[in-house]
Structure 1
Amino acid sequence: MSNLYNTVKSYRYRLAIFFLLGAASVFSIALYRFRGFWYNDYGFTFLVWNLFLAWIPLIAAYTAWTLSLGRKWLYIVVPVIAFVWLIFLPNAPYIITDFKHLAEPSASVPDWFDVMLLMWFSWTGMLLGVVSLYLMQDIVHREFGRWVSWIMVFVVSVLSGLGVYIGRFIRWNSWDIFADPKGIFRQFIVGAQDPSLRSIGFTVIFAGFFLFVYVTLYAFGHLLMEPVREK
């Protein structure tokens, strides 16, 4: 019993994060189910699917982080998992763009309820993305140093912003990179040759927002680690 207690104590923060994110996901889905039961409106089904997709980068990142602790897997399996993580990462903050559906209000559901519903889903998705990025940054930090890890965070934030744009406006999905890689490559070349103001503006603003949220939560997480000088 004492061994179990010591194990839980050693991993208490890690377990707490997974528990809180799991609880937030369950509560979000419960709100969605209540919306259908109480107001007889089963719209917004896509939120449940999007939340499921948002969990994939966290699972991939945690798997990569765990395997990276064993050196033999670091340069073989981890890069493959990291690629999958990067492809699915935009799904986590993507849910924020679902707020656009508030422009099409339901006749039976109060606006305030849908705002709360979207807030729970989108914030949970954002946190899933942030935690997964934190785990991947830790891998890069351990292997290549602090500055390289922060460059990675910046580049990934920009790519996530671009990924969200592609998903929202061009309507490509993460798995299309495996299902239709040629189609995505052609679309990317066309967009790169003649980028629109909307694509640039959206990518920059969204990437900046994601980076802001990440750095803010990162700073909060390390706040108590700073030494305190007694006066």
Structure 2
Amino acid sequence: MNVGSILWVMWNATLAIVPVLAGYAFRGAVSKRPMRFSGYVAALPLGLIWFIFLPNTCYLLTEWRHFLEMLDRQNLFVVSQTDGRMFIKLVLWSVFYFLYSLFGMMTFTMAIRPVERAALRRGLPVKFWAVPFFAAEALGVYLGLVLRFNSWDLLRNPSPVWHAIVEVGGRPKLALFILAFGGFLWMAYEALDIWLDGLKQRLATGKSGA
């Protein structure tokens, strides 16, 4: 991996961390009692940053395409069967992309958790909004992966972004695929959310037992 690739990985990882920080900051702003005007002023931009940057987390799932391109370009899978050095290279790259994708989904989950908890405390119908929310995140991945929009384009140059979103509505197969990907993101979030709750409880039990 060259310097440019390392910097690109670090940049994508940084973008994935942004909504996690924004999510916890948002929860802190709306959890204060009584809720003051300053809390609303802080919550609005934090919520916007959280929502706009959130697709950068699950976007990391799509980085496997670079791995597949490398396999095809270097014929790595076939060569690795007779070349031990190439086999090690194949294993290392596989582990890297697995961990990179896992990092993306963990930041995805950790970014949503504080906002969801804050919404539940206020009695908001979180499950009702789950389908459009995760579909919107899947749409965000499509806009970044295929049309190459950045998160900040929604603020700096929103017209082409909204035009692209409207166009999706006129392409039923694409819209269905995005909706299906949103369903996958929902299931993945629920699974990781349960796992994190279990891990948190286990750590708490371990501390109390000690």
Q: Indicate whether the TM-score tops 0.5.
A: yes
The corresponding residue for 1:49 is 11
Quote how far apart the aligned CAs of 1:76 are.
Answer: 3.3
- Structure 2 residue matching 1:144: 3-state secondary structure: coil
Match of 1:117 among 96, 100, 109: 96
- Contact 1:161–1:207 (Cα < 8 Å) also in 2: yes
Match of 1:186 among 119, 138, 163: 163
Quote how far apart the aligned CAs of 1:128 are.
Answer: 0.8
Superposition TM-score, scaled by structure 1 size: 0.70
Task: Answer 1 or 2: higher relative contact order, Cα 8 Å, separation at least 6.
Answer: 2
Match of 1:208 among 183, 189, 193: 183
- Structure 2 residue matching 1:173: 3-state secondary structure: coil
- Contact 2:26–2:46 (Cα < 8 Å) also in 1: yes
Which blocks of at least 5 consecutive residues in structure 2 are unaligned?
77-85, 203-210
Which runs of structure 1 show a deviation greater than 6 angstroms over 4 or more consecutive aligned residues? none
The corresponding residue for 1:99 is 64
The corresponding residue for 1:174 is 151
Match of 1:84 among 41, 49, 59: 49
Of all paired residues, the percent bearing the same amino acid is: 21
Quote how far apart the aligned CAs of 1:74 are.
Answer: 4.4
Give the whole-Å Cα distance in 1 for the aligned partners of 2:68 and 2:98.
15
Superposition TM-score, scaled by structure 2 size: 0.77
Pairs within 5 Å for 1:20-59: 35-36=1-2, 43=5, 45-59=7-21
RMSD of aligned alpha carbons = 2.4
- Contact 1:157–1:211 (Cα < 8 Å) also in 2: yes
With over 3 angstroms needed to count, the CA separation of the structure-2 counterparts of 1:112 and 1:75, relative to structure 1, is same
Q: Deviation string for 1:92-139 (max 9, x for gaps)?
A: 010010101122217597222222111111111211110110111011
Give the whole-Å Cα distance in 2 for the aligned partners of 1:180 and 1:170.
14
Say how many residue pairs are matched. Answer: 183
Give the whole-Å Cα distance in 2 for the aligned partners of 1:88 and 1:42.
23
Which blocks of at least 5 consecutive residues in structure 1 are unaligned?
1-34, 226-231
